[in-house]
Structure 1
């Protein structure tokens, strides 16, 4: 007798996106969009590693939107979504998690200093120090323009992180600020602190070259 063939029906996982993905503060509204590869009987939104879903949408074709209004500190966690497929029937795995980073303006901003000061020649090593003496979480260095921090570092025993920009070029010119991750289980960030401005002076053009 020939062995019986067993068909394994795989339900592909969804993907989850966050809108806006940056610059969320306590009190804001955030939308999480669960993108589906096929129609679903239901779609559920979960906090990461929590088996109890927090929101559900029924009879969804290709995307379910979940709105979180009036963001609070405890909303600053990771999220996942999952769906029940129609044809073929079956429950998907959870999506990859997304992180909801929330700025809480009740925390004091970090301080920042620049050495050497402001105008430097190309090729100079520049040091930016960010200090956060009361909350010892990771410190982030931001440059105006990029949406994400350009560097991060754990502070030393005095609550200071030292970032070095090696052999700077004019591309390093700009305004820099710091923030820090508040300790604890939630993904909370401090507000951005005061800024420092770095101006890198290009090397003079050799004679005879334009």
Structure 2
């Protein structure tokens, strides 16, 4: 039985119930309401993985897929989704880096960290930074292609900023650069 049944009972006035409780029509009505809530139940679907996050973002009708009762509730576990997101993309980036690193994506609370692989895959550092900045901007403009919606909606909704850590080699040896990208839309100054 769902926890809302007590709430429904509290919504009914105790005085009203006690005053009219013994009328047969009211007893039957109260019984039918409570039994229908008990037998039909409610469904609480927990969004606690990146896959389920994507289903919800991409418009999957979660009620028809997971719900069987008349009442359907979604519960978001942002910590679990964040960790699953990080684990999934870390695995992708480690494969891209041909296993040269074990940890390339991590987070601390609502702060996402990415290790730039420009030294390994010979891409420009600015390309990754620009791609993330443009993706975040397009998210707020509602102008993302469907395949990017899930990724950028997770970044914007689950993290406050993205820090990109870049290691590059040059004439003077190896050097590190850090770029911080805020994920929240900046309010225009008036």
Q: Same fold (TM over 0.5)?
A: no
Q: Which structure's relative contact order is higher, taking Cα pairs within 8 Å and 6+ residues apart?
A: 1
Greater share of residues in helix: 2
Q: Which has the larger radius of gyration?
A: 2
* Structure 1 length-normalised TM: 0.23
Greater share of residues in strand: 1
